[in-house]
Chains A and B, each alone.
Chain A
Amino acid sequence: MSLSYAEWASAVREGSLLGLACEECGHTNGVPTGACPHCGNRDLQQVSLPTEGTVHTETTIQVPPDGFDEGGYQVAVVEVGDARVMGRIADESASVAIGDAVALSGVITEDDDHPAPVFEPV
Chain B
Amino acid sequence: MTRAAVVGAGMTSFGVHDTPLQELFGEAAFGALDDAGVTTDDLDALYFGNAMSGQAENETHLGPRVASHIGAAGLAVQRFEDACATSANAFKNAVQAVDAGVHEIVLVGGVERCTPETGRDTAAMTRIFASASHRQYEQPTGLTFPSVFALLTKRHMHEHGTTEEDLASVAVKNHANGRLNPRAHFGKETTVEEVLDGPVVADPFRLMDCCPFSDGASAVVVVSDDLADSFDAPVDVTGIGHATDVVPIADKTALTATQAARDAAEEAYGQAGIEADDADFAEVHDCFTGAEILASEAIGFAPDGEGGRYAADGRTALDGDRPINPSGGLKAKGHPIGATGTAQIVELTEQIRGTVGERQVDDAETGVAHNLGGDSATTVVSVLEGRA
Name A residues whose Cβ lies closer than 8 Å to a Cβ of B: 5, 9, 27, 29-31, 33, 37-38, 56-68, 73, 75, 77, 83-88, 98-99, 108-111, 114-116
Contacts and interface: CB of A to CB of B under 8 A. Distances in A.
Nearest to A113: B140
B124 interface: yes
A57 B199 contact: no
A17 to B, nearest CB: 11
A114 B141 CA distance: 9
B123 A60 contact: no
A41 to B, nearest CB: 14
Nearest to A33: B251
Interface residues of B, number: 38
B303 interface: no
A120 B253 CA distance: 25
B141 A116 contact: yes
Given A65-B127, A66-B124, A59 B139 contact: no
A75 B151 contact: yes
Contacts of A108: 140-141
Nearest to B136: A5
Q: Which 9 A-B pairs have the closest CB atoms?
A: A65-B127, A59-B150, A116-B140, A114-B140, A84-B250, A66-B127, A65-B126, A57-B155, A37-B246
Nearest to B204: A59
6 contacts: A57-B155, A59-B203, A65-B130, A73-B142, A85-B250, A86-B250
B155 A98 contact: yes
Contacts of B129: 65
A40 B229 CA distance: 45
A66 B142 CA distance: 9
A58 B138 CA distance: 13
Interface string B219-256: 00000000000000000000000000010111101010
Contacts of B248: 31, 86
B124 to A, nearest CB: 5
B141 A87 contact: yes
Secondary structure at chain B's binding surface: helix, strand, loop or mixed? helix
Contacts of A37: 246, 251
A64 B123 CA distance: 6
B250 A64 contact: no
Nearest to A85: B250
B87 to A, nearest CB: 24
Contact of B202 (A29, A61, A114, A115): A61
B155 to A, nearest CB: 4
A33 B127 CA distance: 24
Most-contacted residue by chain B among A27, A67, A85 (CB, 10 A): A67
A64 B155 contact: no
Contact of A56 (B126, B155, B199): B155
B201 interface: yes
Contacts of B147: 59, 61, 75
Interface in B94-147: 122-124, 126-127, 129-130, 135-144, 146-147
B263 to A, nearest CB: 13
Contacts of B249: 77, 86
Nearest to A88: B141
A111 B143 CA distance: 11
Contacts of B253: 38
A12 to B, nearest CB: 9
Nearest to B253: A38
B145 to A, nearest CB: 9
Most-contacted residue by chain A among B123, B127, B147, B255 (CB, 10 A): B147
Contacts of B199: 62
B140 A110 contact: yes
B337 to A, nearest CB: 16
